[in-house]
Amino acid sequence: MQDLRINEQRLWDTLMEMGEIGGTEKGGCNRLAGTDLDKQSRDIFVAWCKACGCEISIDKIGNIFARRPGLNNDLPAVGTGSHLDTQPTGGKFDGVFGVLSGVEVLRTLHENNIETPTPMEFSVWTNEEGSRFQPAMQGSGTYVGRFDLETELNKTDVNGIRLGDELARIGYLGDMELGSRNMGAFFEAHIEQGPILEDEKKAIGIVRLGQGIRWYNIEVVGRPSHSGTTPMHLRKDAMLAAAAIVTEMKAIADRHENGLGTVGFMQVWPNSRNTIPGNVKFSADLRNPRPDVLLTMHEELLAFAEKIAEEHGLDVNIDPFWYFAPVEFNASDDVKAATEKLGYSHMDIYAGAGHDACYMADLVPTGMIFTPCLNGISHNEAEYSSPEECAAGANVLLHTMLEASERIAKQHQA
Ligand SMILES: [Zn+2]
């Protein structure tokens, strides 16, 4: 078992074959959730899993589970999976690499007639990208109970088409209850989507945390007046106050290790060249892997907004409407053990983006395996990982799952 390795060429060919479904001219992928192309990618995944003797189940939000029996099928399975949907100008690897690494693990076990102590389960999660339907990670979030099923099935795309209708139309609105799989651990392999592994020349990132996120809607209420007749000291310029807060977002991020701060959306009223802005609405996004640090960043933003309101003599209203607590990946030691056994260079890392594994961590011990991607580019048609980089990630997934299966079997014996 120690010498067992996945087939690098077969994994690569499978990635390229999947990449043709919705393939774009620039070498990327456009495969939105619930479309005919999504159906094609799901169908081929199901066919590949069936060819290796898996039993297929589909739940009420369209997540697919392919189960390979083990020596004791009463034991909880070791699961892996990710998503097959992409951004409109997405790449061939984001999500797909995780799903197809799973398929490659399955094929490796199958062709070597390996009987694992527990069942192994290979999954595809519905609409991870949140591009056609919102929110992102919709399938996994609904599966673990973070979102209400009916609400999510009723979500519509820009043309008013319901997710539930699309899933039914493409044949993937199942009847299996949400959260009902007997799973003892879950692992997701994913490209890093950032530059750190490449920069540090490491083959594998052992993901310890998914970082925390705080989102805000901020409104500055000043007073609109003529830009040519209002002296500077008599103005209540909402834009100036907003600009100070935007700049402070970077200062807050810089003051804290691993801090990130972004303002990516802004509306100015009346948005006219010769009127002092009376009202500015904008978004704010603060992130940190540590909950205590993220709370401090949050408090600093609120305090700064209060100070600015006073200094500028206007109102600043902040609505902190969303908090995503940092996720701890409790099964990352299995990933580390497998990586060290295989002799790959590695480092601990945290996930900057959301992943299906972040929600699965609600239910079972979970781990993530990151692999490098060229120039850290993702959500882009130029997204690229080399065959060797992909193979390293899939080998770690294989041995992580074997490790976890042994561990679960032992725990249930004791
Ligand atoms: Zn992804």
Instruction: Spell out the per-residue pLDDT of the chain, length 414, in tens.
Output: 889 999 999 999 999 999 999 999 999 999 999 999 999 999 999 999 999 999 999 999 999 999 999 999 999 999 999 999 999 999 999 999 999 999 999 999 999 999 999 999 999 999 999 999 999 999 999 999 999 999 999 999 999 999 999 999 999 999 999 999 999 999 999 999 999 999 999 999 999 999 999 999 999 999 999 999 999 999 999 999 999 999 999 999 999 999 999 999 999 999 999 999 999 999 999 999 999 999 999 999 999 999 999 999 999 999 998 898 999 999 999 999 999 999 999 999 999 999 999 999 999 999 999 999 999 999 999 999 999 999 999 999 999 999 999 999 999 987
Q: Please check if 355 is assigned to a binding site.
A: no
Span from the CA of 136 to the centroid of ligand 1 (angstroms): 10
The full set of domains in the chain, from first to last, is 8-211+326-413 (3.40.630.10), 213-324 (3.30.70.360)
Span from the CA of 85 to the centroid of ligand 1 (angstroms): 9
Q: Quickly list DSSP for 360-403.
A: HTTTS-EEEEEE--GGG--SSTT----HHHHHHHHHHHHHHHHH
Tell me which residue has tokens 């009223």. 269
Span from the CA of 359 to the centroid of ligand 1 (angstroms): 13
Torsion sign across C-alpha atoms 398, 404, 407, 413: negative
Q: Are strands 279-288 and 260-262 parallel, antiparallel or unpaired?
A: antiparallel
Q: In this structure, what DSSP letter does residue 176 have?
A: B
Q: How many CA atoms lie within 13 A of 363 on its CB side?
A: 24
Q: How far is CA 83 from the centre of its chain?
A: 9
Span from the CA of 94 to the centroid of ligand 1 (angstroms): 5
Span from the CA of 161 to the centroid of ligand 1 (angstroms): 24
Q: Is the peptide bond before 270 cis (omega within 30 degrees of 0)?
A: yes
Decide: helix, strand or coil at residue 135.
coil
Q: What is the pTM of this model?
A: 0.89
Q: Please check if 83 is assigned to a binding site.
A: yes
Q: Please check if 406 is assigned to a binding site.
A: no
d(CA 280, CA 268): 5
Q: Are 221 and 315 in contact (CB under 8 A)?
A: yes
d(CA 64, CA 102): 13
Please list the alpha-helical segments (H only) found in 216-320.
Answer: 238-255, 291-312
Integer-rounded Cα radius of gyration of the chain: 24
Q: Which residue in 348, 211, 349, 216 sits closest to 288, CA to CA?
A: 211
CB within 8 Å of 3: residues ≥ 6 apart: none
Q: Please check if 379 is assigned to a binding site.
A: yes
Q: Which two tokens stand for residue 111?
A: 């062709």
d(CA 368, CA 366): 7
Span from the CA of 159 to the centroid of ligand 1 (angstroms): 24
Q: Please check if 315 is assigned to a binding site.
A: no
Q: Are 133 and 33 in contact (CB under 8 A)?
A: yes
Angle between helices 8-19 and 96-111 (to 10 degrees): 140
